[in-house]
Amino acid sequence: MRDHGDLLWECKERKGMMEARKHLVQYLHGFPGVKEYRTQLVHVESPTDIHAVIARIEAEHPTLLGQKISGANPESLAMSWDGCPVD
C-alpha cells in the first residue's frame, strides 16, 4: 500500500492521490473495521496521509496486515500503471 501510494504521488502528484483513494481501499477487502479505514483512505491528500492510515492498521492488526500483503509484488503492480516508468 505504501509503495502504491508513493509511486502514484511520484508520478502524478495530486492526481495520483485521487487515483490512490479508489485503489488503496481494495487492499483492505475483508479486513475487520474496513469501513473506518476506507473512510480515512478516501480522503488522503499525500503519501503522509496514507502512511498514517497504514500505521494505524499495523498497530491494530499487525499479523493480519502482514498476511494480506505477503503475496503482493510491488514491481509487477508498478509495471501495469500507465505513465509511470519503473526503474
Phi, psi of 7 (to 5 degrees): -65, -40
pTM for the model stands at 0.71
For 83, which DSSP code? T
Give the model confidence (pLDDT) of 7-44 as tens digits: 999 999 999 999 998 889 888 888 888 899 999 999 99
For the record, the C-alpha cell of 17 comes out as 492521490
pLDDT at position 52 is 96
More confident residue, 51 or 31: 51
Q: Using 50, 70 and 90 to split pLDDT, how confident is the model at 81?
A: very low
Distance CA 82, CA 59 (A): 33
For the record, the C-alpha cell of 76 comes out as 509487477
> What is the mean pLDDT of the segment spanning 52-60?
91
Neighbouring C-alpha atoms within 13 Å toward the C-beta of 48: 1
**In the chain, where does DSSP find H-type helix?**
2-24, 34-41, 47-60, 62-69, 74-79
